[in-house]
Amino acid sequence: MPNTPTTRTSLTLASTLETVDRVEHEAESFAARFGFNEDDVSSIAMAVREATVNAVIHGNAYSQDKQVTASFEATENELVFRISDQGTGFNEESIPDPLSPENILRGSGRGVFLMKAFMDEVHFRQLSPGTELTLIKHRTPEQHAA
């Protein structure tokens, strides 16, 4: 089987809301290149946006001294988005369930839930310092042809 080329792109940006918009837009464009339909592209872009929001706000706390790195990779079988910050770290277990009755009317706390709803895999990795979120969307055989 011939080697399938892997497409990669990476951005390192400041911890600002403009970065959130930029990364979301780049993810949307990236996903659209690989055969995903409009709804899937929108969902992927939203998941990446939520991860970037977390990096900017919760990870880096908008610090001018800390950056967000976003990398996008397309292989034969999947799209992989990695978003990392330079903050103090993050405990996935500490996220309250936004669907529980006591949390359903909270004004925040749905970002990770939406990432997991829209992507096939979501992984957290502690860096030193910071956190890296990996979001993976599997490609179907129809999308392989794209």
Partner 1 sequence: MSMKVSTRQVDGVTILDLSGRITLGEGSVTLRDAVRDLVAKGDKNILLNLGDVSYIDSSGIGELVSAFTSVKNSGGELKLLNLTKKVHDLLQITKLYTVFDVKDDETSAVGSFTR
Stretch that binds partner 1, among 61-69, 96-104, 125-133, 137-145 (CB under 8 A): 96-104
Residue 104 binds partner 1, judged by CB under 8 A: yes
Number of chain positions touching partner 1 (CB under 8 A) = 21
Residue nearer to partner 1 on the CB measure, 53 or 80: 53
Alpha helices in the chain (DSSP H): 17-32, 38-53, 111-118, 141-144
Residue 11 binds partner 1, judged by CB under 8 A: no
Rounded to whole angstroms, the Cα distance separating 26 from 23 reads: 5
Residues 20, 74, 117, 133: is their CA dihedral positive or negative?
negative
Binders of partner 1 in range 105-144 (CB under 8 A) = 105-111, 113-114, 117
What's the min distance (Å) between Cβ of 105 and partner 1? 6
Of 42, 23, 24, which Cα lies nearest the Cα of 32? 42
Q: Give me the residues paired with residue 10 across strands.
A: 71
Site residues, partner 1 (CB under 8 A): 17, 20, 42, 46, 49-50, 53, 57, 98-99, 104-111, 113-114, 117
